[in-house]
Chain A
């Protein structure tokens, strides 16, 4: 008779607990990281008495959480990739929006600049045209500076977000280690029963962590979780945290890198996913390359415009002054170099074709220099000795060292990184614009032959005798002398190169004919130099002379746009993958309220039935008592 009481009571207790678990599921339906729980009911084992036995009721063997480690791992990996793409997209779309389709108006400003040069060619004596050209040059310079400024401020933003990420990663790591300790102790105290709430919390922290940085995890037999970042650098080992730290880049203190307290090594290159990985990628794959490419164009603009200026004469008859200036390219010794040797870099006068928008590392192994392109990892041994007389030359740049570097010394060489931000207009006097050619040619009035002389071009503006007067005198119809020197054979139309200029004489000269080449000082109506400058927009100078300056800007627009588009596509694809992974986790661990409602009904009915059984037992017992009392 007592059995019915025992069995009923065990059932009432078990079902009550089941209702509690279901209520808890409903209560936590929206709690992040909550895993649906179910009661695990077992039959109670009766005492064997040799006869046929009736069961002893029901016991709650445990409360299980619906958790799939495989699904969770999949979600975490997906979140890491998505985190990286989100961070990259943040920067690529900022650039996309800021730059629009014209690099923030830069390409329009460049068109205006070259048009203004053509206006000067139309009216070389007009101060207004010249002043307008300087104005347009300033627009170009602002265009480059603004674009560079936007990119630099994104780099600053990357730094602050890296710091914030590292702080948050470390605090999550600390929390995971604390939970590790509680879980190990808790599991032992509850006799092997898993502390579901602590596990949920820890799994949620791991999930949060995976959004910030790509991780791998292992679980020890005692229940502790180990977390690794990068190439297996430990972040959490049981109750221990090896926190991440930010350290300045060895070459550029304004850029933060990631290190770990486990070792002093910089591990930035191994962190490729999560928000942190995305920040590092945004810097190395989006922002810095864009800065370098802008700088490459700015360098080319400055060099071509200035060198054309130097070939012509201004209104005062002097060689033209530079219109633009760009800062000196950077060459930064590593903070780990063992000596104080410094490096100086310059872009070669004829180096634009070979100049790349990449950074290089100049390193020394056994005294041999090696220049490694940081973009593709290829390396070359530069020509030269690194001295002023014989600088190291490669990729359109020259590098001069202040001394002999120690073995293992490294220098980061950035030929173009700062050029866009430092492009300035350095001309203020409009009369200093060199619209005129440097030389003019004159056929003597007494010439009786039919030969004519071309107006002449400058081929070497550095020749000190460029402006010295030269007489080309024909001693016969087939020979001429230069300033009375040795006779030269004359061929109609062939080049005559003297003192850095070149002219052609065409036709049949007569003996005694003279052609004079002199300085064009006073030739203020001449526009030959301005014409060449205005046409320079179509001249290929970059990439071995295949890309013009304005073509370079168009290519940059397409390049940045493609990159942003690619990241957008990857991000939306990864969002879909992530939704799948999230769905898979939810499918296992999520709370479906309809399901819980059904469970509640089920347990409620079971509870009512058990109560009914108890009531029947009570009736049976009362019947027995009244029968005994009645006799």
Chain B
């Protein structure tokens, strides 16, 4: 027996299917007006979760970009300051060489000292450089305290040894600066391994020249005294132990325990030179020592020798400072490079993420238009069919 169909069930069925068709048309319209393949999570639960994750990754990657730009700005500020520091140090070194040339009067020396002081002030200003946010870039963590103030022996460092890191990628940070302690204070004296100083009371004309470590394995880091027992005869002691003895003529190189010290001039009997491991000395102390030596001037041949030794020592220390500055600039350059590398990697990542989001949530307009067309056709066919069947009734023919 076939199923009896009644007018009422016909109507119910018609209304239900019309409702469904209109709902799906509305959804397609909604997709097209938002350009999204889904606007609620139920339409694509997994996709909605993924899009959330991708959006988070995208926001984070963009934030890494912001971080990188911020670090870049700070590092450029630092690099610029350090480049000026190098210029000033070169100028100071030229002055020192000039003062070492001999045949200068005390007033000449004093004039050089004045120039050196001006350079000292410039260096101080550079060491107290502030970035756009008013932070002292060489203060370490203490970014709001002026890091360097002049003192009688150089400058006092008021900052700390902190170094700020900035996140430029997942798991990758770069320092966006260097503290003043590292840049200006932790500078080795002498040749970086040891320094040779003439004793204050030397009466002869012995001047310390080149110093080298000829055999790092043999140098034990000890402190040695080179003492001239007579002009032309020296004895090297470490504490009470005699390390070596020898004869000396002007320009000879004294070698022992892996180190070499070249002297010039003629030391007098009992003149001595102390070879001690390098210590850390502030750039400002080096400059201050030079200024003091220049201001002291020359009153005798012994004091002229002392001035020469002081200037030589200052030049050694300035070279160490230049070295240190170059090293720091090299690391700054390295950081800037890794930031640039990371920025282009981040751009690729962001493009990829954006693409993934579009793949999941973006709308295929061609498909959507086709769907809408089909849905419209189905709806008009359903309406047509209903009006046709509704016209059929036996009562019409009675």
Task: State the CA gap A565–B53 with chains docked (Å).
Answer: 20
A440 within 8 A of B: yes
Instruction: Tell me whether A562 and B45 are in contact in the complex, defined as CB-CB below 8 angstroms, given that A30-B8, A121-B67, A601-B398 are known contacts.
Output: yes
Given contacts A100-B39, A100-B41, A582-B12, contact A587 B4 (CB under 8 A): yes
A99 within 8 A of B: yes
Distance between A315 CB and nearest chain B CB, rounded to angstroms: 9
Do residues A525 and B164 form an inter-chain contact, with CB atoms below 8 A?
Answer: yes
A29 contacts B279, C-beta separation under 8 Å: no
Contact partners of B136 in chain A: CB under 8 A: 525
Q: How far is the CA of A441 from the CA of B161 in the complex (A)?
A: 7
* Chain A residues closer than 8 Å to B59, beta-carbon distance: 111-112, 114-115
> Is A115 a contact of B185 with CB atoms below 8 Å?
no
**Interfacial chain A residues near B300, Cβ < 8 Å:** none
Does B38 reach chain A (CB closer than 8 Å)? yes
Q: By CB atoms of chain A within 10 A, which of B52, B55, B64 has the most?
A: B52
Does A568 sit within 8 A of B, measured CB to CB? yes
Q: How large is the interface on B (under 10, 10 to 19, 20 to 34, 35 or more residues)?
A: 35 or more
Assess whether B6 is in contact with A586, with CB atoms less than 8 Å apart: yes
Interface pair A107/B56, CB less than 8 Å apart: yes
Chain A residues closer than 8 Å to B163, beta-carbon distance: 455
Q: How far is the CB of B249 from chain A (nearest CB, A)?
A: 35
The interface on chain A, measured as residues whose beta carbon lies within 8 A of the other chain's beta carbons, has a size of: 82
Among B8, B64, B164, B166, the residue within 8 A (CB) of A526 is B164
- What are the interface flags for A123-152 relative to B under an 8 Å C-beta threshold, 1 for contact and 0 otherwise? 111100000000000000000000000000
Contacts of A101 in B (CB 8 A): 38-41, 48, 51-52, 361
What is the CA–CA distance of A443 and B161 in the complex, to the nearest angstrom? 8
Contacts of A551 in B (CB 8 A): 53
A253 interfacial by beta-carbon distance below 8 Å: no
Task: Indicate if the CB atoms of B166 and A446 lie closer than 8 Å.
Answer: no
- Report yes or no: A108 in contact with B55, Cβ–Cβ below 8 A: yes
Is B388 an interface residue when CB atoms closer than 8 A count as contact? no
Complex CA–CA separation, A609 to B44 (angstroms): 69
CB of B60 closer than 8 Å to a CB of A: yes
Closest to A443 in B: B161
**Per-residue contact bits, chain A 489-530, to B (CB 8 Å; 1 contact, 0 not):** 000000000000000000000000000000010111111100
Provide the residues of chain B in CB contact with A562, threshold 8 Å. Answer: 41-42, 45-46
Do residues A525 and B162 form an inter-chain contact, with CB atoms below 8 A? Answer: yes
Chain A contacts for B7, CB-based, 8 A? 29-30, 591-593
* Cα-based distance from A583 to B11 in the complex (angstroms): 11
Task: Contact check, A520 vs B141: say whether CB atoms are below 8 A apart.
Answer: yes
Residue B393 CB within 8 A of the other chain? yes
In the assembly, what is the distance between CA of A21 and CA of B293, in Å?
A: 133
Instruction: Output the least CB separation between A83 and chain B (Å).
Output: 16
List, sorted by A's number, 9 A–B pairs whose CB atoms are closer than 8 Å: A122-B71, A436-B141, A440-B162, A455-B162, A524-B142, A562-B41, A564-B45, A583-B9, A597-B395
The residues of A with any CB-CB pair to B shorter than 8 Å are 29-30, 92-93, 96-97, 99-102, 107-108, 110-112, 114-115, 118-119, 121-126, 436-437, 440-443, 445-448, 455, 520, 522-528, 531, 534-535, 537-538, 550-551, 553-555, 557-565, 568, 575, 579, 582-584, 586-588, 590-595, 597-598, 600-601
Task: Give residues in B with beta carbon < 8 Å to A.
Answer: 3-9, 12-13, 16, 38-46, 48-53, 55-56, 59-60, 62-64, 66-67, 70-71, 133-136, 139-145, 160-167, 170, 173, 176, 181, 185-186, 277, 279-280, 361, 392-395, 398
Closest 6 CB pairs of A and B: A525-B143, A561-B41, A523-B141, A590-B6, A558-B49, A561-B45
